[in-house]
A = this chain, B = another copy of it.
Amino acid sequence: MSKSLIELTPVQTVACCSPLVQEPMSVQQAEQVAPLLKALADPVRLRLLSLVAACADQEACVCDLNDAFDLSQPTISHHLKVLHEAGLLDRDKRGVWVYYRVNAEALNGISAFLGGVGA
């Protein structure tokens, strides 16, 4: 999941203002990273993610997450789904309860990627 974010796709060098210091992102790379950032780019989802990350065993039950927000249960369920489908949260159903866990690899991948652009 989340692959390396750095490999793949030949970079089509684009005309720019001056000699390039580092290669710009390819179109494919941008279209691969943007959905991950879009999944993160919501205050509720950021808090959900950080709540899960803040739990001692790195996992949180949906029922506890629901209680932390003034939002309906379907809305929280929707946001969790978005984070899950983006690969940022792993799902684990145990009995009636569902536990979500942060995918640290994916999160660190994004972090490293952004750090690389800024460098």
Contact = CB atoms under 8 A, between A and B. Distances in A.
Contacts of A117: 49-50, 53, 102, 107
Given A24-B53, A107-B118, A118-B53, A16 B68 contact: yes
B46 A25 contact: yes
B43 A30 contact: yes
A56 B118 contact: no
A49 B17 CA distance: 13
Copy count, this protein chain: 2
A43 B27 contact: yes
Contact of A114 (B18, B55, B110): B110
A99 B33 CA distance: 25
A16 B64 contact: yes
A98 to B, nearest CB: 12
B112 A18 contact: no
Contact of A20 (B21, B22, B55, B107): B55
A104 to B, nearest CB: 5
Q: What 4 pairs between A and B have smallest CB-CB spacing?
A: A107-B118, A37-B41, A38-B41, A111-B115
